[in-house]
Structure 1
Amino acid sequence: MVNDAAPASPPADQPRNTLRPDSPCAGYCSTSHGDEICKGCGRTFDEVINWIIYDDAEKAAVWARLEAAGLVKR
């Protein structure tokens, strides 16, 4: 049986593209020069070095903090 129904659209108040890059890294990490907070992405040194082992909830918490502070550059 063929389903001819149109795909459901997201609600009007929901952005169409809610995908984020895997990392907030902006490509110029100042933590490698001794800064505790990266001037490129706004993450702490610990967040930068532990990013690859963070689970989805930990990453989402960092993204939420960066977005609330207006620090997302990607």
Structure 2
Amino acid sequence: MTAGSNAGDRESGNANIAPVPSPCIDVCRMNRAAGWCEGCLRTIDEIRGWSSFDEQQKRAVWDAIDVRHAQLIAEKKVPT
């Protein structure tokens, strides 16, 4: 093992992976109809739990945000 390496990270495949950043953009306004924050597209439970989520859970939230963003884009498209 080299200095500074973490055996647990290597075993889980997370070696040299940067921490998952928060999606918060300081536009904190919940859209009641969608159930998501209008800024970051997270649910209130995702916002509340973010600081206690592990990296895998945080990546799962980002995946859900990508799906929600695609939904919003699709809803705003005007048929030609």
**TM-score of the pair, normalised by structure 2:** 0.52
Shift of 1:65: 1.2
- Larger relative contact order (Cα-Cα within 8 Å, sequence gap ≥ 6): 1
The equivalent residue for 2:57 is 58
The equivalent residue for 1:4 is none
Query: After TM superposition, what 4+ stretches of structure 1 lie above 4 angstroms from structure 2?
Result: none
Percent of paired sites with the same residue: 33
Q: Partner letter of residue 39 of structure 1?
A: E
For 1:44 and 1:50, how far apart are their aligned partners in 2?
10
Q: Partner letter of residue 57 of structure 2?
A: E
Residue 41 of structure 2 contacts residue 69 of structure 2 at CA under 8 Å; is this kept in 1?
no
Note if 1:42 corresponds to 2:41: yes
The equivalent residue for 1:7 is none
For 2:63 and 2:26, how far apart are their aligned partners in 1?
20
**TM-score of the pair, normalised by structure 1:** 0.56
Change (3 A) 1:20 1:27: farther
For 2:68 and 2:54, how far apart are their aligned partners in 1?
22
Q: Larger % of helix: which? A: 2
Q: Larger % of strand: which? A: 2
Unaligned segments of structure 1, at least 5 residues? 1-18
48-57 vs 34-43, greater mean Cα deviation: 34-43
